[in-house]
Amino acid sequence: MSTIKPFDFMVKYQQQKDWIDGRGNFIAFAFFLGGIAGGLFLAAAYFDNLLGIFIAFLLTGLMGVSYMLHLTHPMRFWRMMSKPGTSWIARGFTFIMLFGFFTVITMILMQWAPDATAAITTFKVLAGIFAFAQSIYTGFAVSYVSAIKIWNSAIVPILFVTCGISGGLAILLAVMMGQDSTNIAALENIIRVVLIAFAIIVAVYLWNATYSSTAARDAVIRLIGGALAPLFWIGVFLFGILIPVVISVTTYWVHDASSGLLIFAVVSEIIGGLALRFAVLKAGVYTPLLPAE
């Protein structure tokens, strides 16, 4: 096909910009914050860490703020629960509200009624269900878009939730280091497993995308060798996978790793998680409407 066109709208592969440019940046932040907030709650609930649960609640609040900044009419936000039957954004908004509600009750019980173990467990489980839902729905919201082939994959929700859990575990590690917790070794073991799983899922996702369609393959090429390569290789691979994995594996043998090194791994993991959301959203391209050669 000739390169000379009156204009290129939907004649070439067209990058989606509605969820990445301008206000669209805020939805990438919202997806990231929702993911790590959910992951942090699950990890903190497992280790019975009230501060971790509180930070997860705060991060969910920040997610809400980021969502509001994304909307052009934020005062109508209450309408966003109108259609949970078909819209993942509506479902997600409901999950966020319910997660916040059950988390507040859980925190109140843990702080002021620590003997009510049955009630604490009940609300912790309820909040945990919605924490997981909050973490994974962002992936479903993206993967539901059949128009963008690299998004339209069943692996995306798994990728997002794994990334959220790894980020949440990293934040909990920082929290527990500050508290001199005795559970740090156990947490580190979980982080090692999750990080390796995350790396495998990223690789499988990209490999799978190259076989799904030409639009998805084009997006993968842009990610690993095109305009998005710095974001992918530095943000996702270096910060999100390589540095945390190297530090995690190193600490497996060197038991007295410095806290500075672990904090660096935590920060690196968080940067990687954010970079992943941006990379996936930026990689989305629409199939041209006119037949290409």
Partner 1 sequence: MRWGMAIELKRCVGCYECVLACKAEHFLPPDIFWNRLLIGEQGKYPQVTKLIYSVRCNHCADPACVKVCPTGATQQREDGIVWVDEDKCVGCRYCMVACPYQMRSMYEDGKSQYFPGQELTEHEKIGKVLYPHMPGVVTKCVFCKERIDAGLAAGLTPGVDREATPACVISCPTKAIHFGDLDDPNSEINRVIKEKHGHSFHPEFDTQPSISYID
**Footprint of partner 1 on this chain (CB under 8 A)?**
1-2, 5-7, 9-11, 14, 16, 18-19, 24, 27, 70-74, 76-77, 79-83, 86-90, 93, 141, 144-148, 284, 286-287, 289-291, 293
153/138 Cα distance (integer angstroms): 13
> Smallest gap, in angstroms, from Cβ of residue 145 to partner 1?
5
Residue 68 or 249 with smaller CB distance to partner 1: 68
> Smallest gap, in angstroms, from Cβ of residue 157 to partner 1?
16
Residue 195 or 280 with smaller CB distance to partner 1: 280
Residue 144 or 233 with smaller CB distance to partner 1: 144
Residue 29 or 198 with smaller CB distance to partner 1: 29
> Smallest gap, in angstroms, from Cβ of residue 175 to partner 1?
32
Contact 223, 279 (CB under 8 A): yes
> Smallest gap, in angstroms, from Cβ of residue 142 to partner 1?
9
> Smallest gap, in angstroms, from Cβ of residue 163 to partner 1?
20
261/258 Cα distance (integer angstroms): 5
> Smallest gap, in angstroms, from Cβ of residue 104 to partner 1?
24
Residue 101 or 286 with smaller CB distance to partner 1: 286
Residue 32 or 239 with smaller CB distance to partner 1: 32
